[in-house]
Amino acid sequence: MGLMNLFQHFLGDDWGVHPDDRKRPAADQPVRVMPVPAKLYLPLQQHLGGPARPVVLVGQHVKKGELLADAQGMVSAPIHAPTSGTVVAVTEITAPHPSGLSLPAIILEADGADEWVELHGCADPFALSAAEIGPRVAAAGVVGLGGAAFPSAVKLIGASRAKVTTLVMNGGECEPYLSCDDRLMRDQAAGIVDGIRIMLHATGAGVALVGVEDNKPEAIAAMQASASPFANVQIRPIPARYPMGSEKQLIQELTGIEVPADGRPADIGVIVHNVGTALAVRAAVREGKPLISRLVTLNGQCASQPGNIEVRIGTLAEEVIAFAGGLKGDGLGLARRIMGGPMMGMQIPHWRVPVVKGTSGILAFDTAEVAEQEPNPCIRCGSCVKACPMGLLPLEMSSRIRNEVYGEAIDLGLKDCIACGCCAYVCPSKIPLVQFFVHAKGEMASQDRAKLRNDATKKMALQRQERLDRENREKVEAAAKRKAERAAAAAAAAAQADQSTVS
């Protein structure tokens, strides 16, 4: 991963790693609010699932919070205007992804008025039925703000149908450098707790367990104070260990129950959401506000003024950096650009990519933070096995993948890999294990798609042959029927002729 020199690490007691969190001083700085930039670049794909479909035209004036693109399909999320202004283009922009490929987006030019569209909130969300909350959250475009960006309403509605009993809230923020959730819990604990209670009402769950890593004492104190009047919202300090924020690990830590390898949290009566998502759910239901901004951590040795910044969705990363004082030495020491966290975030080719709903961090690393080393052969030390939070055998899986024996890698648990990077982080041979696993999953997905195409082609060919055979049979039957009819007609004519002769 190229991050081995980042931290002085040691293995966890059972799984995971304990990196130096590098969260301070950024976490201790007051939140800054960035002014609205001149233009906002809004990708139609900011969430898991189907991309949003534009519902505005170039040249159209919109107000802040107005719908720009509607959800498509069951798993999707709409996009709203982060400010008032004019739609100047629906075009391709660079994706916040290592590939540097493009994706469709709406470009909005701000008018400076920042005027809200008329909002329709609900002063008492608990007077609503549980079934009414999910659609409001869906209409607001709320997605998981911990990084996964799964449409939140889908999970809320699904949890109600599955009759979950426990709502697990992820306040772990286990990735190094990131502190936006920490800052939200310190500054807006009451709003988060209110959002959690609304989510409890929506899901029908009886209790919310809020896991907060014990390296965030200020956040724990603020959340406990706000949750104290509500017995069904429990703040639980958990050990600071990466990847504690991973869904299955967090559930097991808080409930003692293990999610089955091929199962989902709902199978054991649990649903997981992020604390930042709870705040967005509160805004959507109580105030009718769509998700148009988020808190983003700016960090890394190259950042002049690390901290947490409230940013409108669609703001270019380069403008966020400029607002925060730019990069040290005009960026001459910059070695890597990352959006998200250093372990699971995306390396990006340049800073002209937009903040999207799932962007938790903008990291500017110098050479000391990303010093790369050439990989060496595996020494079979077992460090990756001990570190894996899923209990897998990374060294054995990578060996199978090198030999392209993907089926055996799957038998060893490849599909359970969460790509957290713990194995590569602790590997003394600097083997890029995660890349092997991501590559193998991509290959298997390609093979599955090819198999589906082949199966579909075979089915179509079979259907065509069956149709041709049926048509041939029908032709033969029709010909035989016509022949029989002609023979019958001839016989009838002959008989009539014979009868006439006799007469």
CATH code: domain of residue 81: 3.40.50.11540
Half-sphere exposure in the Cβ direction for 185 (13 Å, CA): 29
Query: Does 247 share its domain with 332?
Result: no
Residue that terminates a domain, selected from 234, 264, 291: 291
The residue behind tokens 């559930």 is 251
Residue that terminates a domain, selected from 350, 366, 382: 366
With 70 as the cut, is the pLDDT of residue 135 above it? yes
Containing structural domain, residue 319: 294-366
Residues 6 or more apart whose CB falls under 8 angstroms from that of 170 comprise 146, 211, 245, 247, 250, 272, 273, 274, 275
How confident is the model over 140-152, as a mean pLDDT?
A: 87
Distance CA 290, CA 68 (A): 11
pLDDT band at 16 (very low <50, low <70, confident <90, very high): low
Query: Does 251 share its domain with 314?
Result: no
Condensed to tens digits (0 to 9), the pLDDT of residues 285-300 reads 999 999 999 999 999 9
Query: Does 31 share its domain with 150?
Result: yes
The residue behind tokens 């007077």 is 127
Query: Does 287 share its domain with 298?
Result: no
Q: What is the mean pLDDT of the chain?
A: 86
pLDDT of residue 6: 38
Condensed to tens digits (0 to 9), the pLDDT of residues 386-396 reads 888 888 888 88
With 90 as the cut, is the pLDDT of residue 17 above it? no
The residue behind tokens 């988060």 is 192
Which is more confidently placed, 294 or 436?
294
Q: How many domains does the chain have?
A: 2
With 50 as the cut, is the pLDDT of residue 9 above it? no
Distance CA 358, CA 148 (A): 7
pLDDT of residue 319: 95
Distance CA 446, CA 457 (A): 16
Half-sphere exposure in the Cβ direction for 336 (13 Å, CA): 23
pLDDT of residue 3: 39
Distance CA 196, CA 156 (A): 12
- Whether the ω angle into residue 243 lies within 30 degrees of 0, i.e. cis, is yes
H/E stretch holding 497 reads helix 433-502
How confident is the model over 41-46, as a mean pLDDT?
A: 91
The residue behind tokens 């509605």 is 157
Query: Does 41 share its domain with 122?
Result: yes
Distance CA 242, CA 178 (A): 12
Query: Does 113 share its domain with 227?
Result: yes
Query: Does 89 share its domain with 207?
Result: yes
Q: Are 246 and 263 in contact (CB under 8 A)?
A: no
Q: Is residue 419 part of a domain?
A: no
Residue that terminates a domain, selected from 235, 267, 291: 291
Q: Which of 109-123, 151-165, 369-383 has the lowest mean pLDDT?
A: 369-383
Q: Are 34 and 49 in contact (CB under 8 A)?
A: no
Query: Does 204 share its domain with 327?
Result: no
Query: Does 55 share its domain with 80?
Result: yes
Q: What is the model's pTM?
A: 0.76
Report the percent of the chain where pLDDT is more than 70.
93
With 80 as the cut, is the pLDDT of residue 10 above it? no
Query: Does 142 share its domain with 243?
Result: yes
pLDDT of residue 446: 63
CATH of the domain at 355: 3.10.20.600
How far apart, in Å, are the Cα atoms of 406 and each of 10, 17, 147, 398, 419? 31, 27, 28, 10, 17
- Whether the ω angle into residue 25 lies within 30 degrees of 0, i.e. cis, is yes
pLDDT of residue 1: 37
Query: Does 273 share its domain with 149?
Result: yes
Distance CA 219, CA 236 (A): 11
Query: Does 286 share its domain with 304?
Result: no
Q: Are 151 and 75 in contact (CB under 8 A)?
A: yes
Q: How far is CA 487 from the centre of its chain?
A: 73
Q: Are 143 and 156 in contact (CB under 8 A)?
A: no
> In the chain, helix, strand, coil percent, each to 5?
40, 20, 40
